[in-house]
Structure 1
Amino acid sequence: MFGLKLLLFLLMSCAPGVLAAPSQAPMQVPETSGIGAKQKLQGRFLHITDMHPDLYYKADASQKSACHRRKPKKARPRSGYYGMPYSDCDSPLTLTNFTLDYLDKEWSKEIDFVVWTGDNARHDNDRKRPRTTNEIYMLNRAMAKRMEEVFLSKGIPVIPTIGNNDVWPHNIMLPGPNSVTFEFSSIWRNLIPFESYQVFQRGGYFSVEVVPDQLAVVSLNTMYLYDSNKAVGGCEQSDPEDPGNLQFDWLEVQLERFRRRGMQVWLSGHVPPSADNFFPDCFVRYTELSLRYQDTILGHLYGHMNADHFFFLDAEHVRSKRDRNASTSDTFGEPHAEGKKKNRLLYNALLKDFDDLPKAKRNSTYDDYGVVNVSPSVVPSPYLPSFRIFAYNTTGTPYVPAMQAARSSCDDADGRDAWWCGMAKPWHANPESPSRTNRLWTPLGYAQYYLPDLDSANKKHAPKVKLEYLTFSRRALHPSSGSEQAEAAWHPIPLRHLPKSLRNATMTDKGSKYVPYGLADLTIGSWVDLGRRLAAGTEAKLRKRFRRFMYMGGEGA
């Protein structure tokens, strides 16, 4: 029965040509640096995560049954045709297909690449229908073919990631090479560059040059860093063959190679790199590498948490043995709290974290920080389905990294006895790099879209995709306002994807609810400034909106 359902799903969701989709190909390099020139780059990309399709989902079912059965009949609320918001149920195929069909129709011509950060199988939350390895792989294969149909067939690179629910049992992945890495190398055969196959089959990670010789995306396998995976050692110094250590050794080589070539890089993965999620030594290694190559890394894109938020990687986590060995509750609340409970703790923990940021000074430096962006999910558990469109700068002069030695990670006395200090490798941070100054490849902002009326949608009335908020300032939405070519000029978010109140350059207060942050760009300094504003508490409306966006009106908002 299951095989028949999946075959029907594949036949309904995949076009005939998808089975022979072309292999991953990078975007073409623009011949000029001007946005107005004819070029393929659109200056935008999609981040989508945690779709969790569920073949057993039924409408009018109870949440207690994981939306798989109609008993108990008196249970309220009941599952809807497109999903059950604010619940523990996974996504019906109607929702995943609707989302990808919408992206195909409305966004596939507007973006350059897709960062797809895992969890493409249902949760193991129904004892009467336990998950199987075959089901997980078949769901991932079906979702991969849909991504090939929607994006890869149009020449748009897709960079996937293994999620903690993409393996069986969930959270557990043995050191590779193993059946998981071999299976996903087959499932993603058109998405992984040929030269990365051997590395992927060993560890489940790889990199893609989405713009040759200029811009790359690294897909990390966070299963080997996640402290819920008890099948690995957690990057312990005494075990250089630990899969987490091998992954960081590989990442270090990748970042050094990209830097020497003058390229910029996005790091992506499923489980966010926090002290609450990663093994302590893995967290320190990730933070140290991220800050050592701050002038090469544009940002960090993750999923898994199902709640919209951002946080900072801080050099203090590397320098101080106290921070290295501290309880994970110091950073993001109660350790190993799950689901809604963890998300309720998250807001206050983040404000506390932001309050620890140093006060702004005239000559403030941001050498010690990196910014992790965690996107909410497509699955309406525990909030509402969503996806995120990032805009980035395709103009200006490239950043040329300095090749001379920079400051060492062991310059501070507190860190001299740390195990990585024997290497005494330089840290590369520069205020002129794209992560710090708006120039070529700098992230400019993102638009968050969601489905707020999911519970009222039905077979005859599909849900509507609406803008939830933007990080941009009003002025940044209309960079060419006042010019004769303003209407035809490039906009970070195409005007047709904005509500009417934001489409005109002379916007009124009517559209202010969509632009609460007013960030000029997504450089590290902009994020630190927002963190300080949230911590200060002097802007009550800002805090209220930040919390509402995090929980999308659900529990905790």
Structure 2
Amino acid sequence: MVFLKSLTYSALSLLIALNAIQAKPTTKARALVKRSSKLHGKFLHITDIHFDPHYKAGSDPDSYCHKHSSKRGEKAGTFGALGSDCDTPAALLDATFSFLKNEIDDIDFIIYTGDSVRHNRDDEMKKSDDEIVDIHKSVLKYFQSAYDTKKVPFIPTIGNNDGFNHNDFVKKDSIYGKLASVWSGLNLNLDTNFKVGGYFAQELIKNKLSVINLNSMYFFHKNDEVDDCDSSSSPGAIQLRWFERMLKQYSKKKGHSVYVMGHIPPADDEGEKLYKDACYSKYINLLGKYGNTIVGHFTGHTNNDNLLAVVPEGKSSSSYTVVRADGDDLDDDFLKKASVGLFSAPSIIPANNPAFRVYNYDTSGKQFNVGTILDWDQYYVDLEKANDKGKVQFEIEYSASDLYHTDHFNGDGVGEAFMSLCDDDDARDLYSEFVDVKGAHS
């Protein structure tokens, strides 16, 4: 029996905007997936690990799971404290990567959308710069314990907790050089753009599929160290000019598709903007403008399971619309204009039940563009059950094709998916019930 889950995202954001920009790309034509490799048409998406090496099982969650307490009350479980402010214990990561190694072995590559490092919430146990770098190294070792990253490429990005200053990333930030060193063995295109700005472009499948890996921290509204993108000299504006030039370059290559990845999505599951105003408008416009080239947009950060879409609505105007799951004000003609699906995966950190995704994507380019998402299985663990039984058991929470009644998730398919959701009471109930990765129903 395949399990279903309502895609946790209480609203589908359908977006558009304006203005185009130009820049100079610097990228190397070096594909990560080797020509001799047999494609499985699957890849893994993990996000928001937030590894805490100081986590103590049986401790008080009010101490961020760092200290034991004589007070009566809930104690931190071996595999995590669900819904608390505690981060992720080593025991959960050990179990997760053991499952990946033994059960998820038929993938072509891995995308990891950031936030390796624990939060800096505990005033009595502040993170040092050395600890931050050590956690990045530890997380990479976890992935390498499950996969040979020379054969199964690993593409990471930077999260808002991954630098030396929470949320605040600047041009030539010192973390970029440290990460370039940590990731040096991954054969990534960590050129000047990465060392100066924290972003890079990388060919995945030669002449067929590339990934543009963005530093969303320059767009994030909580980054107080950089200006909005209406300032041409801001790091966000500079990145956007580079981003457009890369999209323009790839759009001229016949049969070549692009994945866009970053940590923070443009909007959250409630439809609230997470980017600075000008960055948001220009960013969304670029996604809409190059919707024929972009076949997937992948983020994390929210800890929820979100599906959104970009919908162009004219050349000289912009609007922002939040569409609820009840289908009010939706019509087929509107959704048929959807250009790009935005996929934001749930996290490993037990803010909700830990989860990850395995996507199926098109490799032939016959019916859809190469890279088009055809389906995904979302795996999760019932954390309370795991803590009670002393064992982590991942299972499929839902398959997207079953929930949405579609076999493709390009712009058209995402529009169809949400019309199906709005028309199907049972699917909508699942969608609404499991907004926070609450589990599977048979």
1:513-524 matches, within 5 Å, as: 515-524=402-411
2:34 maps to amino acid: Q
Equivalent pair of 1:287/1:317 in contact (CA under 8 Å): no
Deviation at 1:531, TM superposition (A): 2.0
Q: SS at 1:217's partner residue?
A: strand
Equivalent pair of 1:311/1:350 in contact (CA under 8 Å): no
Deviation at 1:528, TM superposition (A): 1.2
Q: Deviations over 1:303-338 (max 9, x none)?
A: 0000112112233498436x48xxxxx75xxxxxxx
Separation (CA, whole Å) in 1 of partners of 2:194 and 2:243: 12
1:260 maps to amino acid: K
Q: Deviations over 1:61-94 (max 9, x none)?
A: 1211111111153122x11111122222111011
Distance 1:284 1:191, change over 3 A: farther
Separation (CA, whole Å) in 1 of partners of 2:163 and 2:121: 15
Separation (CA, whole Å) in 2 of partners of 1:172 and 1:72: 38
**Cα RMSD over matched residues?**
2.4
How high is the TM-score relative to the length of structure 2? 0.85
Greater relative contact order (Cα < 8 A, sep 6+): 2
Separation (CA, whole Å) in 1 of partners of 2:238 and 2:253: 23
Distance 1:517 1:136, change over 3 A: same
Q: Are 1:56 and 2:54 counterparts?
A: yes
Separation (CA, whole Å) in 2 of partners of 1:230 and 1:213: 39
Residue 532 of structure 1 is matched in structure 2 by 419
2:161 maps to amino acid: N
Q: Deviations over 1:166-210 (max 9, x none)?
A: 123311112x2121211111121123534x421100110012211
Separation (CA, whole Å) in 2 of partners of 1:317 and 1:140: 43
Residue 129 of structure 1 is matched in structure 2 by 125
Residue 465 of structure 1 is matched in structure 2 by 394
Q: SS at 1:550's partner residue?
A: coil
Residue 433 of structure 2 is matched in structure 1 by 548
Separation (CA, whole Å) in 1 of partners of 2:296 and 2:397: 22
Separation (CA, whole Å) in 2 of partners of 1:396 and 1:460: 46
Equivalent pair of 2:308/2:343 in contact (CA under 8 Å): yes
Equivalent pair of 1:116/1:161 in contact (CA under 8 Å): yes
2:174 maps to amino acid: S
Distance 1:56 1:216, change over 3 A: same
Q: SS at 2:184's partner residue?
A: coil
Separation (CA, whole Å) in 1 of partners of 2:136 and 2:183: 9
2:349 maps to amino acid: V
Q: Are 1:119 and 2:115 counterparts?
A: yes
Deviation at 1:370, TM superposition (A): 2.2
Residue 155 of structure 1 is matched in structure 2 by 151
Separation (CA, whole Å) in 1 of partners of 2:205 and 2:417: 30
Distance 1:356 1:365, change over 3 A: closer
Q: Are 1:82 and 2:100 counterparts?
A: no
Aligned partner (choices 372, 384, 390) of residue 442 of structure 1: 372
Q: SS at 2:404's partner residue?
A: coil
Deviation at 1:149, TM superposition (A): 4.0
- Percent identical among aligned pairs is 31
Equivalent pair of 2:362/2:368 in contact (CA under 8 Å): yes
2:129 maps to amino acid: T
Residue 173 of structure 2 is matched in structure 1 by 178
Distance 1:140 1:350, change over 3 A: farther
Aligned partner (choices 305, 308, 329) of residue 305 of structure 2: 308
Equivalent pair of 1:162/1:204 in contact (CA under 8 Å): yes
Equivalent pair of 2:48/2:113 in contact (CA under 8 Å): yes
1:42 maps to amino acid: H
1:135-534 matches, within 5 Å, as: 135-174=131-170, 176-191=171-186, 193-194=188-189, 196-236=190-230, 239-262=231-254, 263-274=256-267, 276-316=273-313, 319-320=316-317, 323=319, 331=322, 350-351=324-325, 355-357=328-330, 359-361=331-333, 366-367=336-337, 369-381=339-351, 383-397=352-366, 438=368, 440-452=370-382, 454-457=383-386, 461-472=390-401, 515-534=402-421
Distance 1:269 1:72, change over 3 A: farther
Equivalent pair of 1:268/1:302 in contact (CA under 8 Å): yes
Equivalent pair of 2:338/2:411 in contact (CA under 8 Å): no
Aligned partner (choices 38, 46, 62) of residue 40 of structure 1: 38
Question: Which structure carries more strand by proportion?
Answer: 2
2:66 maps to amino acid: H
Equivalent pair of 2:33/2:204 in contact (CA under 8 Å): yes
Equivalent pair of 2:339/2:412 in contact (CA under 8 Å): no
Any stretches of 5+ residues in structure 1 without a counterpart?
Answer: 1-23, 31-38, 325-329, 332-348, 398-436, 473-514
Equivalent pair of 1:28/1:41 in contact (CA under 8 Å): no
Q: SS at 1:320's partner residue?
A: coil
Size of the alignment, in residue pairs? 405
2:257 maps to amino acid: Q
Q: Deviations over 1:271-322 (max 9, x none)?
A: 001251001111111111111111110011110000112112233498436x
Aligned partner (choices 30, 33, 53) of residue 27 of structure 1: 33
Q: SS at 1:240's partner residue?
A: coil
Separation (CA, whole Å) in 1 of partners of 2:100 and 2:150: 13
Residue 63 of structure 2 is matched in structure 1 by 65
2:414 maps to amino acid: W
Moved more, 84-93 or 294-303: 84-93
Q: SS at 1:289's partner residue?
A: helix
Q: Deviations over 1:218-251 (max 9, x none)?
A: 1110000001001000211xx3221011111111
Question: Which structure carries more helix by proportion?
Answer: 1
